């Protein structure tokens, strides 16, 4: 459910792209609106709502949602202002590479990786496994960013929109499944009795 909520602005972007473009009449004028601009507007609004609803329900906001919102507003705003879809095409890469830098920074400059900080309450792993997982996530973010750029600037816009939803979501699900299989060999669940020992 959380994965779907995280990807909801992208799902709405996809729907708006497919059905939002076309001829619009306003104030006696006819406008040919490209789907990418409708989709970008919808994604900006959806991202703002995502962060707002999360805050209203939990009184906290994940840093990943804030980073994504900032990049959506800046790059989406540039896309709309300059009427240039290249800016929004960079957004998935910018988000992924920023996450990669964050994971690298936590590994290099703190005593625990970011994953260990987020998940250590729920499971116990050897230090080397935490480090391997952190490196795997860094590589995943870098590869996802590169894949996005490759598709965005070597294929038609519609192909990129499809990849943005299905390709990146598919890569994420495959990576999480692979991570789960790897973790199942090392996992020791943290229970109250384990904590006391």
Residue 67 lies in a domain: yes
Show the DSSP H helices in the chain as ranges. Answer: 2-20, 35-58, 63-82, 86-109, 114-119, 127-154, 157-162, 168-184, 192-196
Residue 92 lies in a domain: yes
Tell me the per-residue pLDDT of 116-129, one tens digit each, with 9 for 90 and over. Answer: 777 766 677 777 88
105 C-beta neighbours (distance < 10 Å), count: 11
> How many domains would you assign to the chain?
1
Residue 19 lies in a domain: yes
Residue 196 lies in a domain: no
Residue 102 lies in a domain: yes
Mean of pLDDT values over 7-15: 90
DSSP string, 134-165: HHHHHHHHHHHHHHHHHHHHHS-HHHHHHIII
Residue 46 lies in a domain: yes
Tell me the per-residue pLDDT of 53-74, one tens digit each, with 9 for 90 and over. Answer: 989 988 888 888 888 899 999 9
By residue range, what is the domain housing residue 131? Answer: 2-191
104 vs 102: CA distance, rounded Å: 5
Q: Is the pLDDT of residue 188 over 60?
A: no
Give one word for 22, left, alpha or beta, with left for phi > 0 and alpha for psi -120 to 50: left
pTM of the model: 0.81
Q: Is the pLDDT of residue 141 over 50?
A: yes
Residue 197 lies in a domain: no
CA angle 88, 93, 99 (to 5 degrees): 125
Residue 63 lies in a domain: yes
């Amino acid at each position: 459910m959380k994965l779907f909520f995280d990807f909801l602005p992208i799902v709405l972007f996809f729907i708006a792209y497919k059905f939002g473009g076309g001829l619009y009449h306003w104030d006696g004028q006819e406008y040919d609106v490209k789907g990418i601009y409708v989709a970008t507007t919808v994604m900006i609004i959806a991202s703002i709502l995502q962060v707002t609803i999360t805050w209203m329900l939990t009184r906290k906001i994940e840093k990943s949602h804030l980073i994504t919102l900032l990049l959506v507003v800046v790059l989406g705003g540039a896309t709309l202002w300059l009427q240039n879809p290249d800016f929004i095409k960079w957004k998935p890469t910018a988000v992924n590479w920023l996450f990669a830098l964050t994971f690298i920074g936590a590994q290099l400059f703190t005593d625990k990786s970011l994953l260990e900080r987020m998940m250590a309450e729920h499971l116990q792993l050897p230090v080397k496994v935490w480090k391997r997982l952190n490196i795997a996530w860094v590589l995943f973010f870098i590869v996802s960013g590169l894949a996005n750029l490759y598709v965005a600037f070597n294929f038609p816009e519609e192909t990129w929109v499809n990849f943005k939803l299905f390709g990146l979501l598919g890569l994420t699900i495959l990576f999480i499944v692979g991570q789960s299989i790897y973790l199942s060999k090392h996992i020791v669940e943290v229970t109250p009795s384990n904590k006391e020992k």
